[in-house]
Structure 1
Amino acid sequence: MTSTENVIIDERPLRGWRHSAWWTYLVMLVASAVALGASFVLAAETLQLARHPESVLGCDVNSVVSCSAVAQSWQAEIIKFGGLSYPNAFFGIAAESVFVTVAVIGMAKVAVPRWFAVCTWFGGLAALAYAYWLFSQSMFVIQALCPWCLTLMFSTTIQFMALSHATVAVRNLPAKATGLRTYYRLGIDLMIDVLWVVTLAVLIIVVEGPALFA
């Protein structure tokens, strides 16, 4: 004998302070501001090395924790145009300035077109992928870690988490994403986000632990 069960799909909008515009975009604003500050520091150090290649930077601790080693690698200037190469930090300043502006707009509850919200999310995803590529190159190819680069990577991670939360909870995108709303309504995102950040930290400690604590 078979029976038909009625499945009730919860399509209610997300409610509560944790899903509000001011909170989700506030987290994004703080993370973006930290990333912007790190980008400014990296840009300043890049200029210092360009003027004084022999100089030792304040974050040059040893052969593993070394901003100079990362800044002088080809991965630090992958954009080339007109015969010139441009440091990644300059693009970081431009990108994070945009994300800071988006966060402020979100906190102010300004309505934006769907295409703008979608492009912003994909922009955040591109920034995250770029930060992780640089992180993987730094750890496994250059074999040196830059504290400011790590700050940028972790802040970009939190920035993307907050942006994704705001896109679903505030911008209501995708419109029929019932599963995503359940994901945030049940707080599963908190567990995944914490696990994500802890996994990154553990990876760094496992791979570079001896040199970090030497």
Structure 2
Amino acid sequence: MPRLESPARPTGLAVFLILAGVIGLAAAFTLTLDKLHLLADPNAQLSCSFSVLIGCATNLSSPQGNIFGFPNSLIGVMGWSVVITIGAAILAGARLARWFWIGLNVGMTGAIALVIWLIAQSIFVLDILCPWCMVTWAVTIPAFLAVTFYNLKTGSIPAPESVRRVASVAYAWVPLITLGCFIAVAIIAQLQMDVLNRL
């Protein structure tokens, strides 16, 4: 069994979780308001709708935007509120138990799985990009990477020493890895949707 480290308080991770949470919460809250506007007036012109390629209405009105029978944005409102709270608790000096870190990673894994599915649906099925959805994608990806690499390098997630060393290095490179993910999504969107010619 790999040993579990007792690292110094991860202040950087805490600050990042708070910032990512605030951005994600703002996006989710705005999407929720837009959904309410659509429910009140299906023909409402939303502030995030710019063209046939960039807009929110199609996503919000589609089955993909309500996969559990209610707007996906409500999941974001709840989830990002939890992330902000966890970040603030760490910053305040809380030492989270191993099970808590694993629970956070499970939540982040669920979030990234949902985001990957929604990205695929937006690009390959709906053929439209939702601005506020993309903001959510942009913070979920690095949040998942940061939490996962941190848990691997500290031993909260049991892993061989070699994996922990790789995770320790990768943790320092989360911004660059995230940028690589953004570029990959942009390339896929361009190849499938011809984004540049439709803007």
TM-score by length of 2: 0.85
Which residue of the partner structure matches residue 37 of structure 1? Answer: 26
How far apart, CA to CA, are the structure 2 residues paired with 1:177 and 1:111?
Answer: 24
Gaps of 5+ in 1: 1-10, 81-85
1:143-191 Cα distance to aligned partner (Å, 9 max, x none): 111010011111111111121233234x532355422331144457625
The higher relative CO (CA closer than 8 Å, separation ≥ 6) is in 1
For the 8 Å contact 2:149–2:170, the answer to whether it is kept is: no
1:112 aligns with 2:101: no
Which residue of the partner structure matches residue 86 of structure 2? Answer: 102
Which residue of the partner structure matches residue 136 of structure 2? Answer: 152
How far apart, CA to CA, are the structure 2 residues paired with 1:188 and 1:196?
Answer: 15
Please identify runs of 4+ aligned residues in structure 1 that moved more than 4 A. Answer: 11-15
How far apart, CA to CA, are the structure 2 residues paired with 1:114 and 1:57?
Answer: 43
1:181 aligns with 2:164: yes
SS of corresponding position for 1:79:
coil
- Report the count of equivalent residues: 195
Which residue of the partner structure matches residue 83 of structure 1? Answer: none
Which residue of the partner structure matches residue 14 of structure 2? Answer: 25
How far apart, CA to CA, are the structure 2 residues paired with 1:14 and 1:192?
Answer: 26
Which structure carries more helix by proportion?
2
Structure 1 letter corresponding to 2:162: G
Which residue of the partner structure matches residue 203 of structure 1? Answer: 188
For the 8 Å contact 2:141–2:178, the answer to whether it is kept is: no
Name the Cα RMSD after superposition. Answer: 2.6
**Percent identical residues:** 23
How far apart, CA to CA, are the structure 2 residues paired with 1:53 and 1:141?
Answer: 21
Task: State which drifts further: 97-106 or 147-156.
Answer: 97-106
Structure 2 letter corresponding to 1:148: W
Task: State which drifts further: 154-163 or 38-47.
Answer: 154-163
- Give the alignment partner of residue 51 of structure 1, picking from 31, 35, 40: 40
Shift of 1:102: 1.5
Shift of 1:69: 1.1
Which has the greater radius of gyration?
Answer: 1
